Amino acid sequence: MPISVAIVGSGPAGFYTADALSSSGDAVSIDFIERLPTPYGLIRGGVAPDHQTTKNVQKKYEKTALKEQVRFFGNVEVGRDVSLAELRSMYDAVVLAVGAPRDRALGIPGEDKKGVFGSADYVGWYNGHPDFRDLNPNLNVAAAVVIGVGNVAIDVARLLSRSADELAETDLPEYAERAILDSPVKDIWTCGRRGPIDAKFTNVELREMGKLSESVPLVKAEQLPDSVGELPERDKRLKERNLETLREFCARKLDEKPKRVHFEFYAAPVEILGGDRVEGVRFERTRVEGGRATGTGEFFDIPCGLVIAAIGYRSDRIEGVPFDDKQGIVPNNDGRVEDGLYAVGWIKRGPTGVISSNRPDGVTVAEHIHNDFAGGAKGSKPGRKALEKLLAERKARIVSFADWKKLEAAESEAGGGKRPRRKFTTVRDMLDYLDRNRN
Ligand code: FAD
Ligand code: NAP
């Protein structure tokens, strides 16, 4: 009997696991259980709409999805349509690949004011994720503050700064494109609580900020150190490149372009200001000692009507599994959680790393499964047949991979040639489309 494996979540970590398992030569039957009707996790719902080449990785994932032993159960949520305990009773191995979909809290007064968003929600909105398509952020503001200096902060600042021409070849939903283009925003502040050398953004992403047609990046020369200091060789090269780019930005002129992205370092947010709605952010100036930011007791305010906190993510607690609340992950030993239960990707490691960082997780867990089931020889649970029976009893509306291909073709057609696609942004619209196009 093949080893039956359920992979919960169809983002990069889930796909790298399926790829490693299905290439192992073992007799395995692999089922993706995905809460959305659409596959690919943050490739679809996180990666920026103006970075389409990054999304091309999904073509590789598709090859895995189309393998004989792989099945996609879209629109099936663990915790809603089937419990984890049920899955574990039906499958030899269950792999958690559910990512880290929630925003970390800032933990400062005023963060619940209107106009303050976390990047998970805000990025989900501009990417047409059904959970966030009704977020409706008010972009009718003169200034915005982005908290954090990682790559997500850069994505958010860049998308707010793009021109109509630059947005014309993206897959932004129409509502988000309209809101961005109608926005009178002129100043976008991207704020790091530590210094430029500690910033998490990578150089390609930083340099892109200097090439936008309607926006200029600005950096205060006095915030840049003379050198990056003592660092391991690889880090040193990367940080030196960032420092060089930031120096180039220092020479840019305030009035060069209609919009400005200000990089503000040594600025720790301490309070969101305003009444019901945000009117500004109060920061404490910091100094960095031993890599840690320490408040100097000097405070300053940046007036703004929109705040996006791009300060990282956390996973949801999954019923029936231990959860490390502090790190926001499922505790595991190199991907092993309990007998027959494994974790990969952001639910395993926490919310850092690029797409390819998830590949080793998948390879490792595939090896664990091989070793834990008699060298890949012995499965004993029914897997797919039992799941199909249970979901039929519950009248769950399963979206298959063939269904997804129909949705994908419709989105691509709606893109009209220039755009890669116009997305469906509600589950209802996706299911209605499939109902109208049964054959
Ligand atoms: P995810 O991609 O989040 O996939 C998790 C999947 O699980 C989702 O499909 C979700 O719907 C599903 N799921 C969740 N709960 C359940 C449930 N209960 N039942 C069933 N299914 C469930 N990396 C790059 O290399 N380049 C980039 O340009 C880039 N841009 C990024 C932009 C943003 C805004 C973010 C947040 C990250 C970005 N990354 C980028 C990082 C990259 O996206 C992650 O490393 C990667 O997506 C993590 O993979 P994952 O499979 O662990 O999680
Ligand atoms: P990140 O790289 O960890 O950056 C988070 C930022 O938030 C850091 O500057 C951090 O500062 C700051 N921060 C955290 N808590 C804070 C607080 N309470 N107050 C103020 N600032 C706070 O995370 P991310 O930007 O969410 O990205 C997640 C992962 O996805 C990263 O590995 C990233 O590289 C990847 N990604 C890649 C791309 C790409 O390749 N183009 C695009 C997007 C995302 P400290 O350093 O001081 O903690």
Q: What is the pLDDT of residues 320-334, one digit of tens each?
A: 999 999 889 999 999
For the CA of 51, the nearest atom of ligand 2: 41
Strand partners for 271: 282
Q: Tell me what pLDDT residue 438 has.
A: 87
For the CA of 313, the nearest atom of ligand 1: 36
Q: How far is the CA of 252 from the centre of ligand 2 (A)?
A: 25
With a cut of 80, say whether residue 91 has pLDDT above it.
Answer: yes
42 lines ligand 1 (CB under 6 A): yes
The type of residue at 119 is: S
Q: Are residues 128 and 269 in the same domain?
A: yes
Q: Are residues 295 and 376 in the same domain?
A: no
CATH number for the domain spanning 331: value is 3.40.50.720
pLDDT, tens digit (0-9, with 9 covering 90-100), for 169-190: 999 999 999 999 999 999 999 9
How, if at all, do strands 259-264 and 187-191 pair?
parallel
State how far the Cα of 101 lies from the Cα of 156, in Å rounded to an integer. 17
148 lines ligand 2 (CB under 6 A): yes
pLDDT, tens digit (0-9, with 9 covering 90-100), for 264-281: 999 999 999 999 999 999
> Atom 36 of ligand 1 has which residue's CA nearest to it?
46
CA-to-CA separations, 128 to 38, 59, 396, 428, in angstroms, rounded: 12, 20, 24, 13
Strand partners for 292: 289
Q: Are residues 280 and 383 in the same domain?
A: no
Residue 376 pLDDT level (bands cut at 50, 70, 90): low
Final residue in a domain of this structure, among 313, 331, 350:
313
Q: Are residues 345 and 306 in the same domain?
A: no
pTM score above 0.95: yes
Cβ pair 101, 121 in contact under 8 A: no
> Atom 13 of ligand 2 has which residue's CA nearest to it?
311
Residue 121 pLDDT level (bands cut at 50, 70, 90): very high
Which one of the ligands is nearest to 152 CA? 2
Which one of the ligands is nearest to 129 CA? 1
Q: Which residue in 122, 116, 124, 112 sits closest to 44, CA to CA?
A: 124
With a cut of 70, say whether residue 31 has pLDDT above it.
Answer: yes
CB 186: neighbour CB atoms within 10 A?
13
Q: Which residue in 186, 173, 188, 189 sits closest to 136, CA to CA?
A: 173
Overall average pLDDT of the 65-78 stretch: 98
pLDDT, tens digit (0-9, with 9 covering 90-100), for 153-169: 999 999 999 999 999 99
Q: How far is the CA of 201 from the centre of ligand 2 (A)?
A: 7
Strand partners for 295: 286
Q: Are residues 303 and 396 in the same domain?
A: no
Q: Which residue in 312, 283, 327, 347 sits closest to 151, CA to CA?
A: 312
Mutate to test the pocket of ligand 1, among 10, 19, 42, 342 (most ligand atoms within 8 A of CB): 42
421 lines ligand 2 (CB under 6 A): no
Which one of the ligands is nearest to 205 CA? 2
State how far the Cα of 348 lies from the Cα of 351, in Å rounded to an integer. 9
Q: Tell me what pLDDT residue 230 has.
A: 86
Cβ pair 146, 157 in contact under 8 A: yes
Structural domains in the chain (count): 2
Which one of the ligands is nearest to 343 CA? 1
Q: How far is the CA of 232 from the centre of ligand 2 (A)?
A: 21
Q: Are residues 385 and 397 in the same domain?
A: yes
Tallying the residues shown for the chain, one arrives at 439
Q: Which residue in 409, 310, 421, 411 sits closest to 49, CA to CA?
A: 421
Final residue in a domain of this structure, among 313, 342, 371:
313
Q: Are residues 39 and 173 in the same domain?
A: no
33 lines ligand 1 (CB under 6 A): yes
Q: 70: which DSSP letter?
A: E
Its domain, for residue 107, covers: 102-313
